[in-house]
Structure 1
């Protein structure tokens, strides 16, 4: 299969591009610079110079010649809306598969560190997080393009793995700022999480047999932030500390404080039932003690 990956130099898109190339697909990846293009070439991915701002034409032309397009970039909302709309227009009426990588942030709940009993499967209704309304609208536009076009939405939870920037790394960074491994409020809020390798597996399965117009979740486990903080504290021989939202904003910034204080719990029955997806990595805490994470606790 000829696959174009938009976002191939990022954490998730790069992993997807490498995974697909390693499984025999012919993968082209968007790169914004010659240096990025050279890195992709070294990973077995054919580079395509372009971007989502002024360099969209080469990307749209490549999309029209591909068997499948995976959108795994994380641009500003207006760039995402424009590029996805143009891709759907270019691909309309073709046999191309279009996979849009979203995230469980669309159903995030502002619990201020408290646990939420709410957990959502793929087709459950949910109140949309106000900051994610535009992302949810893009999801709906992608799904609405089916059945004329085979479109699929992937909605992973918190993605972890090598070089991630998720909750574990954020709690390690809090040690550098405060001397303690921090969480917000009770620290019982949790995101359903998934390893990046299992996201790649889900993406390949969706390309192969996914249903047009479907949403597929990727969720493999849950670990409350307080548990993460306790594990980080034990690794570094430091205390834990609860923060209120104002203190959290000083440590992680306003958006980071929102993320670290919220819950976003999902289930993936459709992914498991329809695609046979079975995640292999389920314990987020296996990353505790990695040198790259420990280094964050002393960064200035």
Structure 2
């Protein structure tokens, strides 16, 4: 194994050169949209006509729904149509770009997990703990019934292994193990810290988490994974976020 120091800015040529030598490239960077688009163009150009594999890590934020803390019954399987969240339009375009590259004699896949949790969690659970530090209460937005599908990080990594082993070129795979409304997360944190819970409006939410964080904490993003389970035989090992979750 030969490690290569990569960077999408200062060392992009070295990064693309290393990708060209690899059998498989997994793109899991958190880059800004313009940089992500440019990097994917370079990766696809480097791997085209090689028969090699490119896997793109996306997320269910592409069909996030702005529900202001209310419940939404909408949930999406891999092939279901949806209205793209405007802030994620570039990410959806990146997904489409990767999937279309399957026609260029390369193996491409997109993996779209729900809210990822587990060790080092930086998601909703940690944000509720942050609200306790800021306000003295475990907070949620509105009714707190907005719901994200979630999946443990270990189950996501197993999905990558299965996709690399037997995934279909040009396929999109979801990863979901369960669903937890934000209000339930707040109640779990309140039990842990011995404090109360409190619903906040979107203005106060922005004071606690910033504008983007407030948007995330007020929205719903629910998915299903029939293709992933059927084609890859993937089954999550961790489904109960409330029982297993520990303080970040």
| Contact 1:232/1:288 (<8 A) preserved | no
Once residues 88 and 131 of structure 1 are traced to their aligned partners in structure 2, the CA distance between those partners, rounded to angstroms, is: 24
Cα offsets for 1:109-148 (capped at 9, x unmatched)? 0000001000000010000000000000000000000132
Higher relative contact order structure (alpha carbons within 8 Å, sequence separation ≥ 6) = 2
Say whether residues 1:119 and 2:119 are aligned partners.
no
Q: Which residue of 2 aligns with 1:184?
A: 141
| Contact 1:50/1:56 (<8 A) preserved | yes
Once residues 92 and 181 of structure 1 are traced to their aligned partners in structure 2, the CA distance between those partners, rounded to angstroms, is: 50
Q: Which residue of 1 aligns with 2:27?
A: 71
From 31, 35, 59, the equivalent of 1:103 is 59
CA displacement at 1:54 relative to structure 2? 2.3
Could you tell me which runs of 5 or more consecutive residues in structure 1 were left unpaired when the two chains were aligned. Answer: 1-25, 27-45, 294-300
| Contact 1:220/1:282 (<8 A) preserved | yes
From 69, 72, 83, the equivalent of 2:39 is 83
Q: TM-score, normalised by structure 2?
A: 0.97
Cα offsets for 1:235-267 (capped at 9, x unmatched)? 111010000000000000000000000000000
Could you tell me which runs of 5 or more consecutive residues in structure 2 were left unpaired when the two chains were aligned. Answer: none
Please report the RMSD computed on the Cα atoms of aligned residues, expressed in angstroms: 1.0
SS of equivalent to 1:154: strand
From 260, 285, 288, the equivalent of 2:242 is 285
CA displacement at 1:79 relative to structure 2? 1.0
Q: Where do 1:39-78 residues align within 5 Å?
A: 46-78=2-34
Once residues 261 and 48 of structure 1 are traced to their aligned partners in structure 2, the CA distance between those partners, rounded to angstroms, is: 40
Once residues 194 and 119 of structure 2 are traced to their aligned partners in structure 1, the CA distance between those partners, rounded to angstroms, is: 23
From 130, 142, 146, the equivalent of 2:86 is 130
The farther-off stretch of 106-115 and 50-59 is 50-59
CA displacement at 1:288 relative to structure 2? 4.3
| Contact 1:184/1:245 (<8 A) preserved | yes
CA displacement at 1:59 relative to structure 2? 1.1
Once residues 17 and 3 of structure 2 are traced to their aligned partners in structure 1, the CA distance between those partners, rounded to angstroms, is: 14
Say whether residues 1:238 and 2:195 are aligned partners.
yes
SS of equivalent to 1:242: strand
Once residues 157 and 197 of structure 1 are traced to their aligned partners in structure 2, the CA distance between those partners, rounded to angstroms, is: 13
SS of equivalent to 2:26: strand
CA displacement at 1:231 relative to structure 2? 1.1
Once residues 161 and 47 of structure 1 are traced to their aligned partners in structure 2, the CA distance between those partners, rounded to angstroms, is: 27
CA displacement at 1:281 relative to structure 2? 0.5
Q: Which residue of 1 aligns with 2:130?
A: 173
Q: What is the aligned residue count?
A: 247
CA displacement at 1:50 relative to structure 2? 2.0
